[in-house]
Structure 1
Amino acid sequence: MSNELTQRLNQSLRLGDIFQFAFEELLEMFGADYCCILHMNEEKGGLEVIACNHSSLQNEILEVGQGLGGKVYTTGESLIMSNYIDNPNTTSRLMNATGSQSLIATPLSVGGEVRGAIMLAHRDAHYFSYDNYRLLQAMAGHIGLAVGNARLHAEVRRLANRDSLTGLYARHYLDEEIKERQSTDFCGCLIVVDIDQFKMVNDTYGHQKGDKILKEVSEIVKSSIRQGDIAARWGGEELSVYLPLMGVEQAVNVAERIRKRVMNETEPNVTVSCGIAEWSWMDERVSVESLFYRADMALYKAKNNGRNQVIVDTKENGGGVKGLPHK
């Protein structure tokens, strides 16, 4: 059973799969009625019930230190309880909700740091033996190692998909996302954003200041779009934003918001030019390359028209541009 658990854990590097595998195997291995796996969620500020076969507890957020699971997490010490009813000063949502009497629990450690807790419960009193208690501790080590590998893999993927200077997505990630969206969505818009006369900024203030400006503009772009939109560094001083399921008029509003904020919030002040291209399911041929090409041509027109403006590509006659100059 131990080998089977380890093999199943190593089948995937997805955190959700690992917790589900562990949950299923532990229930079978120990003959428990209930299994509850808690994992620290910093964003939500507590221990999240990541896997549990009692529906009322699934996805609940528990305060650190609350209940028996919180105690195991806080103290970092394993726990065995033979008869819950004999411990009136102890409270546990899992035990109360399921009417269980026996419990074994152990901290879930990842890379030497306690990141959660594993709890197994049974309705009968005195169900779990001391050997069960020690075995769960051993199994938690295997699970923690798998969770650590999954977290490391996720971090490597995150870094591979991000630009190190700006924190925006890398262009290859944006390309893949647009292709994926085009297979499921019915429309979308691409904005290409270019910092005007960026070479002059570098020549005047130095490359460190130029990097600072690029970061400032990137932060403005990120904070000017929706959660589901994708902002990437296209290359050099050019950034790009893909807006899923958004029409061109809305995209112009987004681009204008970015343009105005850059003009007013950067130090030293710089401006940006924006080119916009859209696609829809009615287009005969949709490709990421053609979408970028059309947005880039609109950007080129914005540059030639005097910079600090938004230009929208039009698809008539093979792709022209129409200007929306804003000075």
Structure 2
Amino acid sequence: LLASAAGSSLENAYLHQQSKQEIFNLQLINETSHCLNSNLRLVDTMTYMSEQIISSIDAQEVGFFLFTNEHAKVKILPGSTPYFYTPQAKIYIDYLKGKIEREKNPLFIGDFDIQTIKNTPSFHSILAVPMIHSEKLKGFSIVMHQKPYFFSFDTFKLLQSLIHHSSLALTNSMLREELEHMIITDHLTKLYSRKFLDERIQRSMKESGEGTFILLDIDNFKEINDTYGHQVGDQVLVQVATLIKNNIRGEDIGARWGGEELALYLPGVPLDKGAAVAGRLVKKIAESSEPHITVSCGVSYWNKEQVDAYNFLFKRADEALYIAKGTGKNKVVIQEQNIRVS
């Protein structure tokens, strides 16, 4: 009788604990779904998901990966823990990527045995869940812990539910940011639009201390179109835009100004350094363009110690560019209070 009563009590306690866990899981999924459907940006969506997974299942590492180039490579999404950006993590990412691609099923690994680099952590408990939207494999998530058999099967099911509910929100966030990027990006050159450049310069002139503006024009562009055709002319524009993007910092802004004119704004950069950037671009374009072309640059500058406005910044650069075009081309002209040629 005592054993029977004890057994019933233990069973009731287990069922009670199980029901509490189920309620917690449902609340977690509901809260996560509600938050993810509130139009978060991609970085906020994935950071929130990472925090939810770490807090709910006590994971050590959480990573989100998106397939690119027809599954040839994967992109690490924001919100992933720092470990996944290290060379050591590539072993796990490549192995699990291959398994997910082949099987397209979630993976539950209790004791993963892999040769890792000495003095680096080895993760034994691994959960990997594919991210599928509209029946297409978009990416996958990885959750890891160093202890073997750390995650339960209930934890595995919870993770699948969280990833399933996040896939639509992830796709929506990506589509929204892609649309926003298209709005502020020139279709041909992939540089920013002039409107975006205007807005960023106006903001910089309120928040920063100085900045350099460069207006760049392709010399004899009409002759290129007449000689080689407009398709080659477009290719020349793309070449110049690519050289600009490859020779500026992440915070600098390259933009399509209009026609064959491109623009470059360097926030926080003094005039001498900005002029040096313009000089390097003129030289690189002359050396590496095909067909051979040259460009002319007009450079202007502002700082908070002088009363200025962004339309005057553009006007000074445009005047300097006009002088560069009229005095031999393939050069940089700098305009401050007085005009000087470099």
TM score, norm. by length of structure 2 = 0.74
Q: 2:334 aligns with which of 298, 302, 312?
A: 312
RMSD: 3.7
Indicate conservation of the 8 Å contact 2:244/2:281, yes or no. Answer: yes
Q: What percent of counterpart residues are identical? A: 30
Change (3 A) 1:217 1:120: closer
Matched with 2:16 is none
Return the structure number with greater helix share: 2
Change (3 A) 1:108 1:292: same
Q: Distance in 1 between matches of 2:161 and 2:287?
A: 58
Q: Distance in 2 between matches of 1:126 and 1:257?
A: 56
Q: Distance in 1 between matches of 2:151 and 2:341?
A: 76
Q: Distance in 2 between matches of 1:42 and 1:76?
A: 13
User: Which is higher, the Rg of structure 1 or of structure 2?
Assistant: 2
Q: 2:139 aligns with which of 115, 118, 122?
A: 115
By how many angstroms is 1:118 displaced? 4.5
Indicate conservation of the 8 Å contact 1:301/1:321, yes or no. Answer: no
By how many angstroms is 1:6 displaced? 1.1
Change (3 A) 1:71 1:166: closer
1:321 equivalent to 2:339? Answer yes
By how many angstroms is 1:91 displaced? 8.9
Change (3 A) 1:128 1:163: same
TM score, norm. by length of structure 1 = 0.77
| Runs of at least 5 residues in structure 2 that lack an aligned partner in the other structure | 1-26
By how many angstroms is 1:139 displaced? 2.4
1:11 equivalent to 2:38? Answer yes
Indicate conservation of the 8 Å contact 1:166/1:218, yes or no. Answer: yes
By how many angstroms is 1:121 displaced? 6.7
Indicate conservation of the 8 Å contact 2:121/2:146, yes or no. Answer: no
Q: Distance in 2 between matches of 1:49 and 1:216?
A: 29
Return the structure number with greater strand share: 1
Change (3 A) 1:244 1:147: same
Q: Which stretch has the larger CA shift, 262-271 or 249-258?
A: 262-271
Q: 2:177 aligns with which of 154, 160, 165?
A: 154
5 Å matches for 1:83-232? 84=110, 87=111, 89=113, 105-109=128-132, 112-119=136-143, 128=152, 130=154, 133-232=156-255
Change (3 A) 1:100 1:56: farther
Q: Which stretch has the larger CA shift, 246-255 or 108-117?
A: 108-117
5 Å matches for 1:35-54? 36-40=61-65, 51=79
Q: Distance in 1 between matches of 2:36 and 2:86?
A: 24
Q: Number of paired residues?
A: 306
Indicate conservation of the 8 Å contact 1:49/1:59, yes or no. Answer: no
Matched with 2:258 is 235
1:23 equivalent to 2:39? Answer no
Q: 2:57 aligns with which of 32, 36, 43?
A: 32
Indicate conservation of the 8 Å contact 1:37/1:50, yes or no. Answer: no
Q: 2:322 aligns with which of 296, 300, 307?
A: 300
| Runs of at least 5 residues in structure 1 that lack an aligned partner in the other structure | none
Q: Distance in 2 between matches of 1:308 and 1:27?
A: 57
By how many angstroms is 1:122 displaced? 11
